[in-house]
Amino acid sequence: MRPHEDTTGSTSARAAGHTSPAGRPWTMLTLATLGFAVNFWAWALLSPLGPRFKETLALSSFEQSLLVAVPVVVGSLGRVPVGALTDRFGGRAMFPLVSAATIVPVLYLGLFGHSSLIALLIGGFFLGIGGTAFAVGVPFVNRWFPPERRGTAIGVFGAGMGGTAISALTTVKLVDAHGMANPFLITAAALAVYAVLAAVLLRDAPGRTVPTEPLARRLADTARLAVTWQASALYAVAFGGYVAFSVYLPTYLKTGYGLGQADAANRMAGFVLLAVAMRPVGGWLSDKLGSVRVLAASLAVVVVGAAVQSATPPLAPLGTVAFLAMAAALGAGSGATFALVALLAPANKVGSVTGVVGAAGGLGGFVPPIVMGVIFSATGSYALGLILLALVSAAALAFTVTRVRRAAASGGTSP
């Protein structure tokens, strides 16, 4: 299936493509991707330090999970209003604002807020601001590109989620080498540099339509769009699966296969990097083949991979192949989901839709680790959890090839 053009947004998109200087859209895309990566780097600072805080502050497993979850939940839910505000004020204003606001909790946590659980939770709550950068970048990038390039462009932007990998690979090492404040100070400096850079260099696309309705009405209108809930359901599976594995995979590998902490962490990093690399590929393939085909293929791979892994096969080679296949599929599926949003959402509501869909993806990654932990405690095996993943992915696949396919064929006009 070839993508159908969104007639609501194509006029302004073509205007942006034809009136802007050569290369300007790609410059804006590069700056937006950089901002996404830096903010996600900050957003993920607490997760690698969870085991350290558990030991030094004598936290329970629940308290450790809560500490890591608070920025994720706040950053996910915060995307809803931030996406709507981006529709109103534009990425040129919102990117510097979000980046500058994230500096405050980063400095607080590094200098003062790591001495108690309450202090960490307060800092983690406001650290969630960094996670809302995603809802700024998608509508900003979307308006710079014509419909036939939006999947690729938003997929490239989505690779900025690799900022979480920067945090995973550097935070603990920097703390060990230079003290607790060091990674927070470095990240705060990166955020400050980017905020200034964005304020000076970012420009909103020519012809950007500015909504005039009140925020509450725009959010209500967004809730009535079929694409909002279709994409939310798919992103909760695709990106939620990526988030869940990136959080829980080290525990799974240590418990299920007896790997050491360093080995498990390195394998998790490989999973994350492959998923990040495949996100722009998923967007590019969506431009060429259609979002529905890419989503269907991605979900089918997850179904097979989860079913294979539910039998706990030997890690070399079958288990490794299953996990890497799922990583590639979840990354490509995440890119394809937002190619679908760019295709079907009205141009002046892309930010609002992105906020809701992004929140669904973040929250989708919050639930599975809890379910996996409960299942393992009850049964001593992860098999049932992986079977549930296969069943949920199969349901999403069926939804994609029926309802979502019809919506894409009708150009998003179905209720």
Domains of the chain: 24-205 (1.20.1250.20), 222-410 (1.20.1250.20)
pLDDT in tens, 5-24: 343 333 343 434 444 455 68
Residue 68, token pair as written in the block: 């890591």
Name all contacts of 173-180 with Cβ < 8 Å and 24+ positions apart.
175/49, 175/52, 180/110, 180/114
More confident: 126 or 253: 126
Among residues of the chain, what percentage have pLDDT more than 70?
A: 92
pLDDT at site 47: 80
What are the pLDDT digits (tens) for 284-336?
Answer: 999 889 999 999 999 999 999 999 999 889 988 899 999 999 999 999 999 89
Residues 120-130 have a mean pLDDT of 92
Residue 179, burial from CB neighbour count under 10 angstroms (0-12, 13-18, 19+): exposed
- Tell me which long-range contacts 254-263 makes (C-beta under 8 A, separation of at least 24): 255/376, 255/382, 256/312, 256/382, 257/315, 257/319, 259/315
Its pTM stands at 0.78
